[in-house]
Structure 1
Amino acid sequence: MAVRHFFLILLVVTTWAFNNVAVKWGLGEVPPLFLTLMRFVVVALILVPFTRVTREQLRYLVPLAFTFGFMHFSLLFLGLKYTDAGTGAIVVQLGTPFAMILAMIFLQEKLSLVQMLGIAISLSGVVVLAGSPTIPTWWVLCLLLCSAVGWAVSNLIVKKSPSIKPLTMTGWLSFLAIPIVGLSSFFMESGQLTSLVNASWRGWFAILYSAICSSIVAYSLWYGLLRTYNVNLIMPYSLLTPVLSVIMGVLVLGDSMNIFKVFGSLLVVAGTAIAVINLRNLRMHARLPKLKRLR
Structure 2
Amino acid sequence: MPMRHIALAVLVTAIWGFNFVVIRLGLGSVPPLLLAALRFVVAALPVVFLARPNVPPGRMIAVGMTLFVGQFAFLFPAMKLGMPPGLASVTLQSQAFLTILFAALALGERPRPRQLAGAGVAALGLLTIASTVGGDFTMIGLGLTIASAASWALGNVLMRGAGKVDMFAMMVWLSLVPPIPLFALSLAIEGWPAIVTGVTGMGLVGAGSVLYLALLATLVGFGLWGFLLKNHPASTVAPFSLLVPLFGTLSSWLVLGETFSPLRVAGMGLILLGLATIALPLPAFAKRQRAA
Normalising to structure 2: TM-score of the pair?
0.92
- Between stretches 129-138 and 7-16, larger displacement belongs to 129-138
Residue 214, structure 1, aligned to residue 217, structure 2? yes
User: For residue 247 of structure 2, what is the amino acid of its counterpart?
Assistant: L
Contact 2:90–2:245, Cα closer than 8 Å, also in 1: yes
- Which residues of structure 2 form unaligned runs of 5+? none
What are the residue-to-residue correspondences of 1:126-145 with 2, within 5 Å? 126-132=126-132, 133=134, 136-145=137-146
User: For residue 22 of structure 1, what is the amino acid of its counterpart?
Assistant: V
Shift of 1:280: 5.2
Contact 2:54–2:165, Cα closer than 8 Å, also in 1: no
Aligned length: 284
Equivalent in the alignment of 2:255: 252
Equivalent in the alignment of 2:270: 267
What are the residue-to-residue correspondences of 1:56-95 with 2, within 5 Å? 57-81=56-80, 82-95=82-95
User: For residue 188 of structure 2, what is the amino acid of its counterpart?
Assistant: F
Contact 1:87–1:134, Cα closer than 8 Å, also in 2: no
User: For residue 230 of structure 1, what is the amino acid of its counterpart?
Assistant: P
Shift of 1:29: 0.8
User: For residue 159 of structure 1, what is the amino acid of its counterpart?
Assistant: R
Distance 1:85 1:254 in 2: 11
SS at 1:126's partner residue?
A: helix
Distance 1:173 1:152 in 2: 16
What are the residue-to-residue correspondences of 1:71-220 with 2, within 5 Å? 71-81=70-80, 82-132=82-132, 133=134, 136-190=137-191, 191-220=194-223
SS at 1:176's partner residue?
A: coil
CA-based RMSD of the aligned residues comes to 1.9
User: For residue 41 of structure 1, what is the amino acid of its counterpart?
Assistant: V
Distance 2:263 2:206 in 1: 31
Equivalent in the alignment of 2:33: 33
Per-residue CA distance 1:166-225 (angstroms, 9 max, x = gap): 122212221111111110000000322222221222111110000000110111111111
Distance 1:213 1:259 in 2: 33
Contact 2:84–2:137, Cα closer than 8 Å, also in 1: no
Contact 1:57–1:162, Cα closer than 8 Å, also in 2: no
Percent of aligned positions that are identical:
28
Change (3 A) 1:52 1:101: same
Contact 2:32–2:77, Cα closer than 8 Å, also in 1: yes
Distance 1:221 1:134 in 2: 38
Contact 2:53–2:166, Cα closer than 8 Å, also in 1: no
Normalising to structure 1: TM-score of the pair?
0.91
User: For residue 97 of structure 2, what is the amino acid of its counterpart?
Assistant: P
Distance 2:4 2:95 in 1: 29
- Which residues of structure 1 form unaligned runs of 5+? 288-295
- Between stretches 88-97 and 130-139, larger displacement belongs to 130-139
Contact 1:121–1:270, Cα closer than 8 Å, also in 2: yes
Distance 2:119 2:128 in 1: 15
User: For residue 59 of structure 1, what is the amino acid of its counterpart?
Assistant: G
Per-residue CA distance 1:91-149 (angstroms, 9 max, x = gap): 11000110011112221212222211110000111101112236633222111011001
- Between stretches 141-150 and 50-59, larger displacement belongs to 50-59
Distance 1:230 1:279 in 2: 16
Distance 2:10 2:235 in 1: 16
Change (3 A) 1:70 1:134: farther
Distance 2:154 2:31 in 1: 26
Shift of 1:283: 5.4
Shift of 1:164: 3.4
Contact 1:26–1:35, Cα closer than 8 Å, also in 2: yes
